Chains A and B, each alone.
Chain A
Amino acid sequence: MITDVERSTDDDVVAIPLRHPWRWVAAAAVIVVLGLLFSSLWNNENIQKQYIWQFIFDPRILKGVWITLIVTIISMVVATILAILLAIMRMSANPVLRAVSFLYIWFFRGTPLLVQIVFWGYLGLLYKQIELGVPFTDFSIFAADTNTLIPAFVGGVIALSLNEAAYAAEIVRAGLLSIDHGQREAAYSLGMGPGYTLRRIILPQSMKVIIPPMGNETISMLKNTSLLAIVAVPELYTASSQISSGNLRQVELLIVASLWYLFITSVLSVPQYYLERHYARGNSRALPPTPLQQAKRELARIRGRADNRRIAAKAREEMNS
């Protein structure tokens, strides 16, 4: 029989850890496969690496990067504003507004983005002229040829914005629905009107639900700008394919474009991180430090340790002398 004394519980556990040999095998296998794949690409005679370095900062490519960024930003901003409008319409008491919002989302989600882009390119076939005036009279404030008014760039931005708005509207609506009904009641009981309540109470709180998927949408928008190649907007992909059609280094220039897309998506995740932090205030008891704050703290710690060492060394010296 074991007595209570023998069953002492305040010993540390000094067990020999269980071995996991298969973990090592699996890791090794994956590394070997990846290594083979990488080396087959790296040593491939058909990929001339010098072309990548030659064209990565080519002015035509840089201009393409710039246009890609501009199109992404403008389209996302326009889409977000439209999306908030559509989400509010979808939740409104007015059945006509609800139906219009529903049909909009149904239509723009239901047809391919490429088709929509081409459509805006061909708008000139549908309406030769765009005119702003009083309906049913000859009075006209403004009239212009469709193809001059909507060049490829503008048509592309319109297509991307309108399409994105349909997806973003559902994200915004999910954000608005995520807010507890008590928040609205509290706002109303304080005498706030519906508009003020939406702006000050509901939307800011919805942001923490809206921002992560909108970050996703932004990245997807960035890549979708490459579809504008079909209407010859000189964005990144168009620029790279125009160069490669001249020098026939298709793969190298695709790699150049891909490196830029990867770089921009990496950079875009930074503002998303800080936006999320901004709207997370009040959510958790204390927010973790940002990478920048962490780095600063770490630096201060290292410096402090070095200082301590210096002080200790000085003290030792004094002792010796």
Chain B
Amino acid sequence: MSQQELMVDARGVRKWFGTNEVLKSISMTIPRGEVLSLLGPSGSGKSTFLRCINHLETIDGGRIYVDNELIGYKERGDKIHEMKPREIAKQRRKIGMVFQRFNLFPHMTALGNIIDAPIGVNGESKADATASGLELLERVGLSDKAHAYPAQLSGGQQQRVAIARALAMKPKLMLFDEPTSALDPELVGDVLDVMRDLAKSGMTMIVVTHEIGFSREVADRMVFMDAGVVVETGAPRDVLDNPQHPRTQAFLESVL
């Protein structure tokens, strides 16, 4: 596979929290348009790895390239330099992220949440941003909630607004950090439907999730992580039905 076709190229990523090594040299490549499902027990480092991709966490070793750009640092000769906050912010604009706890801005309406960054950060006109914001709300099935505040929405609705908010920046890559873990079971379906449509539209996605059924159906590839290392990689069907590694087997037995 050529460099150009890679959306994410992580090479030997290491991360320490104090004396605890949470990522032990993670290498992973994700081609454009792929939906990758990250699976693993809690504390396996999957969320941390996701947060390293958009530099919400700094890394202590290795390199992460997104869309052929080194994230968070500049390479000059054989040295790398830290980036300015403004440059990091610019890199993050092409990486959308959806959080477990939604993290909508409670003082803005659903539409306000969606259009604030396009206007304030990308310099779009208010009319343009509003038009595409309403379009996004329709896409996630919430046209009637444009002027509702997050507190007036259910968890599932909030998460769909959060997805629309991330998409409003027209990202090339979407990161999902356990997007349905904080939801009541009957609200999970609507959020997964939106994600399924997004996958069909060709978006490159990395999804940390415990929704095995969703991963089996939507993901192109599945990565199983444990204790900061990649244990197993493969097609969802192979990993789920025929796990090779005993740790994968043990994990799947406990969740299925």
Contact = CB atoms under 8 A, between A and B. Distances in A.
Interface string B147-187: 00111100000000010011001000000000000000000
Given A186-B99, A188-B89, A191-B117, A285 B152 contact: yes
Interface in B100-158: 101, 103-109, 116-117, 120-122, 149-152
B97 interface: yes
A21 interface: no
A196 B162 CA distance: 19
Contacts of A281: 107, 149
Nearest to A183: B103
A205 interface: yes
A186, A200, A279 — which one has the most chain B CB atoms within 10 A of its CB? A186
Contacts of A283: 106, 151
B164 to A, nearest CB: 12
A282 B97 contact: no
Contact of B95 (A183, A186, A189, A200): A189
A291 interface: no
B169 A190 contact: yes
Contact of A182 (B101, B165, B166): B101
Contacts of A194: 85
Contacts of A182: 99, 101, 103
Interface in A280-302: 281-285
A189 B56 contact: yes
At the interface, is chain A mostly helix, strand, loop or mixed? helix
A188 B149 contact: no
A192 B116 CA distance: 10
Interface in A161-206: 180, 182-183, 185-194, 196, 200-201, 204-205
A191 B107 contact: no
B127 to A, nearest CB: 20
A190 B89 CA distance: 8
A205 B152 contact: no
B15 interface: no
Interface of A: 180, 182-183, 185-194, 196, 200-201, 204-205, 279, 281-285
Given A190-B166, A201-B105, 15 more contacts: A182-B99, A186-B105, A189-B56, A189-B96, A190-B93, A190-B116, A190-B117, A190-B165, A191-B92, A191-B93, A191-B169, A200-B116, A204-B107, A282-B106, A285-B151
